[in-house]
Amino acid sequence: MKRAKTKTADTQFQLPLLLTIPQVCEQLGLDSRDAVYDRIRDGLLEAVDVAGEGSTRTLLRVPAAALLAYVANLPRVHNPTP
């Protein structure tokens, strides 16, 4: 499986090029797949359909770049409350 190399300020990690919805849940620390689908539906998170032309079902994947862009655009917390 292809992996997208990602480098942050202090670490380097690899993500699959296309993530499944459960993988996105895991990366974001979400308990519900519905939370990911809501973000996709609201246009906050990009997804692609890899089911193929003529398929009667949808097979959504989230590109690694889209997940990273989503995280980069999250609001910053300056004074978190415990």
Average pLDDT, the chain: 88
Average pLDDT for residues 34-61, to the nearest whole number? Answer: 96
What's the pLDDT score for residue 17? 96
Give the residue numbers spanning the domain of 35.
3-72
What's the pLDDT score for residue 77? 84
**Neighbour count for residue 57 (Cβ, 10 Å):** 7
Structural domain contains residue 82:
no
* Domain count along the chain: 1
Structural domain contains residue 59:
yes
Structural domain contains residue 55:
yes
pLDDT: which is higher, 82 or 36:
36
Token representation of residue 51: 């089911």
Structural domain contains residue 15:
yes
Structural domain contains residue 78:
no
What's the pLDDT score for residue 12? 67
Taking only the tens place, the pLDDT of each residue in 8-19 is 555 567 899 999
Token representation of residue 75: 């609001």
Q: Identify the CA nearest to 37 among candidates 21, 56, 51.
A: 21
Can you give the pTM of this predicted structure? 0.79
